């Protein structure tokens, strides 16, 4: 009986067992996700099952590579896989196989695709989409006054994002003078006072609008939130020492995005109607009548600069043409000396018409005092009643806190795979996926390296190769070259400057260090550095970020820095351990015991399994080849 079953639509595929060799990787020692796969092409038996599951081998299929989705059962676990048909032989099909968790299908999707959209408006289920600019203010922004206050004392998983108060002194420039747009800015992102979250506002007095842009609303996601939302979307849960760490639960991803919308304050000038229609006649130079018409005119004197908006909606009934009268209904709005907007030209042969729309006229400061004309011309003495709503939008820029938060804007532009690798390379993780329980487990390698389930192999294995450690130094660093990095050898861990080695291994992560005083210190220098910033948020000191939690920091260096907490023991193991390859025969039950293990004892020496490769023999047992690394501290 084969340890592997390959199923297509509940049909088991028969194959020559001796030709299939499977290679499995240990994610604890890999800096990237690897799928289990056949080491070289194997043979599927051409029988009824193969034809029903894979299709007939007609001429149209010859020399074409076909990839078929399969389910793979191995050691009591089910995986999602791909079977690639390479060629057709007499009585067989030559194929390749690779398989992994069903999560493989979403690994290349952007994490932003999984993030929800929320509203600060209570009970809002269909929020207005966020936009960076809006012609008029969006309703609901007043809810920002209380919304962030409910987050201050919470961490992940109770809330998925936070509003930390962060210092950014010169975000909008230095030495601002009134009436600069951000003259009232107070030097902080997500600023609070004794009452709560500070809102932006404006005051209109004597036709003058004063805008007070004081604060910038910028939600910051907890580091674990993207993982939560991605796994939730496919029905998976998450567990492990990484997820349960109180330090990790307090980490925020720094995003330079904000939730501000540039708009303009509007003043509702009310609704007005036209005066009664007057009758007039248009003559040519000889005094002859050209045509007669009814008309009504209204005018508005512009007393402030800004955007004047006219909203209209009314219906015009059909009318019969009279050669002695003007032949159409005309409606116009225009600024003196400016473009004439013909809102409509309603001809007599076009039947009844409904009109609805908005006209905007931008009045510059040197046009204040000019007139805006609204004119109506008609061959009829009686028209449908209508009115126009006028609003004036001041030219002063008002930065409104938009009531809709699109959380996808606040995550890095990473795929799910990139995100997982970033976590793994920063915090030294082992990531395992169980499709049966639909759970992803993330554990610290630093804890696992000296513990974990192991088995003593009471048999001798043939040593096929033995090497010294391939690395004599490790470089642990953030993505950029400005933040402090560590050069680690068997003898010491020291600040990296010009050290070099032909046998160095780099552990670059995709993050960067955010300097923190009494809260995060943001700047253009920080924003320009490569990497995604991380911050620590401790509700005890909320709404401020902190430089440590129980002494633990985000610095690479230091007694409770990234190296000492997450990497020291593991890198020592890598520096001292020797790669060894061994092979030998195993029964099915013996192989089942070690398939999901990460460590074994052979001849009183402990090894961590980097990968193993196995194939079935004609004697109904398995030849297993191990790539091991000795555990030596």
CA distances from 448 to 225, 240, 442, 597 (A): 24, 11, 11, 12
Kindly state the DSSP code that residue 482 receives in the 8-state scheme.
Answer: S
d(CA 611, CA 628): 7
pLDDT, residue 60, reads 57
pLDDT, residue 228, reads 98
d(CA 401, CA 213): 10
pLDDT, residue 565, reads 97
CA distances from 230 to 225, 226, 324 (A): 9, 6, 72
Average pLDDT across each block of 10 residues of the chain; the chain has 633 residues. List them in order.
Answer: 83 92 80 73 93 78 72 84 90 90 87 97 95 89 95 97 97 91 96 94 82 96 98 96 97 98 79 74 82 81 83 78 73 80 74 82 88 83 70 85 98 95 94 87 86 77 85 94 95 94 91 97 97 98 97 97 96 90 89 82 86 86 90 78
How many CB atoms neighbour CB 97 within 10 A?
23
Element spanning 342, H or E: strand 340-347
pLDDT, residue 7, reads 93
Nearest to 327 by CA among 342, 348, 350, 344: 348
Does residue 25 contact residue 36 with C-beta atoms inside 8 Å? yes
Does residue 299 contact residue 308 with C-beta atoms inside 8 Å? no
Kindly state the DSSP code that residue 100 receives in the 8-state scheme.
Answer: E
Does residue 599 contact residue 573 with C-beta atoms inside 8 Å? no
Does residue 415 contact residue 110 with C-beta atoms inside 8 Å? yes
> CB under 8 Å to 305, separation ≥6 — which residues?
363, 364, 365, 367, 368, 394, 395
**Structure-token pair, residue 212:** 């007070």
- Dihedral sign of CA atoms 169, 170, 175, 180 in order: negative
Q: Label residue 621 exposed, middle or buried (CB < 10 Å: 0-12, 13-18, 19+).
A: middle
Does residue 307 contact residue 393 with C-beta atoms inside 8 Å? yes
Q: What is the pLDDT of residues 58-80, one digit of tens each?
A: 655 555 668 888 999 887 788 88
DSSP string, 581-610: EEEEEE-HHHHHHHTT-SEEEETTEEEEEE
CA distances from 225 to 31, 107, 514, 566 (A): 22, 16, 19, 21
pLDDT, residue 274, reads 66
User: Helix, strand or coil for residue 112?
Assistant: helix
DSSP string, 494-532: EE-SS---TTEEEEE-SEEE--BSSSBB--HHHHHSSSE
**Structure-token pair, residue 421:** 């690798």
pLDDT, residue 208, reads 79
pLDDT, residue 269, reads 66
d(CA 249, CA 247): 5
Alpha helices by DSSP H, 381-505:
416-427, 445-448
First to last CA, the chain: 41
Does residue 224 contact residue 170 with C-beta atoms inside 8 Å? no
**Structure-token pair, residue 380:** 């009829």
């Amino acid at each position: 009986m084969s340890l592997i079953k390959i199923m297509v639509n509940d049909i088991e595929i028969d194959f020559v067992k001796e030709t299939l060799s499977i290679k499995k990787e240990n994610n604890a020692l890999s800096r990237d996700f690897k799928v289990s796969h056949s080491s070289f092409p194997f043979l599927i038996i051409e029988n009824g099952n193969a034809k029903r599951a894979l299709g007939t081998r007609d001429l149209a299929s010859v020399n074409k590579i076909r990839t078929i989705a399969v389910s793979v059962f191995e050691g009591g676990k089910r995986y999602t896989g791909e079977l690639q048909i390479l060629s057709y032989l007499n009585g067989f099909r030559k194929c390749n196989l690779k398989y992994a968790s069903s999560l493989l299908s979403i690994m290349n999707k952007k994490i932003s695709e999984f993030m929800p959209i929320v509203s600060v408006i209570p009970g809002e289920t269909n929020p207005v989409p966020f936009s960076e600019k809006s012609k008029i203010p969006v309703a609901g922004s007043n809810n920002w006054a209380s919304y962030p206050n409910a987050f201050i004392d919470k961490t992940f998983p109770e809330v998925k994002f936070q509003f930390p108060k962060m210092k950014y002194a010169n975000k909008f420039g230095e030495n601002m003078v009134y009436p600069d747009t951000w003259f009232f800015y107070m030097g902080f992102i997500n600023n609070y006072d004794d009452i709560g979250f500070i809102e932006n506002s404006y005051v209109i007095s004597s036709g003058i609008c004063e805008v007070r842009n004081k604060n910038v609303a910028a939600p910051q996601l907890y580091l674990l939130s993207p993982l939560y939302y991605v796994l939730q979307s496919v029905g998976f849960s998450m567990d492990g020492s990484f997820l349960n760490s109180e330090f990790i639960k307090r980490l925020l991803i720094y995003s330079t995005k904000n939730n501000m919308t540039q708009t303009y304050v509007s003043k509702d000038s009310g609704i007005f109607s036209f005066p009664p229609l007057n009758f007039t006649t248009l003559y040519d130079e000889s005094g002859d009548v050209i045509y007669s018409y009814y008309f009504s005119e209204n005018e508005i004197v512009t007393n402030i600069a800004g955007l004047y908006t006219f909203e209209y909606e009314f219906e015009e009934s059909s009318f019969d043409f009279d050669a002695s009268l003007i032949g159409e209904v005309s409606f116009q709005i225009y600024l003196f000396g400016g473009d004439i907007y013909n809102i409509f030209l309603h001809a007599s042969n076009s039947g009844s018409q409904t009109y609805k729309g908005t006209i905007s006229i931008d009045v510059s400061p040197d046009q204040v005092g000019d007139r805006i004309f609204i004119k109506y011309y008609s061959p009829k003495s009686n028209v449908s009643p209508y009115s126009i709503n006028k609003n004036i939008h001041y030219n002063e820029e008002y930065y409104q806190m938009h009531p809709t938060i699109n959380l996808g804007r606040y995550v890095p532009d990473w795929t799910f795979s990139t995100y997982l690798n970033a976590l793994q390379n920063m915090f030294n993780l082992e990531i395992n996926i169980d499709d049966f329980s639909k759970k992803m487990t993330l554990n610290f390698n630093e804890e696992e390296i000296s513990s974990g389930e192991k088995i003593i192999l009471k048999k001798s294995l043939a040593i096929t190769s033995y090497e010294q450690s391939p690395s004599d130094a490790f470089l642990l660093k953030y993505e950029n070259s400005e933040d402090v990095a560590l050069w680690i050898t068997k003898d010491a861990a020291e600040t990296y400057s010009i050290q070099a080695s032909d046998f160095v291994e780099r552990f670059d992560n995709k993050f960067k260090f955010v300097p923190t005083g009494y809260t995060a210190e943001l700047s253009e220098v920080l924003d320009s550095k490569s990497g995604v910033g991380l911050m620590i948020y401790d509700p005890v000191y909320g709404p401020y970020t902190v430089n440590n939690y129980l002494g633990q920091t985000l610095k690479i260096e230091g007694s409770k820095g990234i190296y000492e907490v997450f990497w020291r023991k593991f890198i020592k193991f890598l520096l001292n351990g020797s790669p060894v390859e061994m092979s030998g025969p195993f029964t099915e039950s013996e192989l089942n015991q070690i398939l999901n293990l990460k460590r074994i004892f052979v001849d009183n020496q402990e090894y961590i399994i980097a990968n193993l490769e196995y194939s079935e023999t004609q004697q109904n047992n398995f030849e297993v080849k191990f790539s091991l690394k000795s555990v030596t501290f």
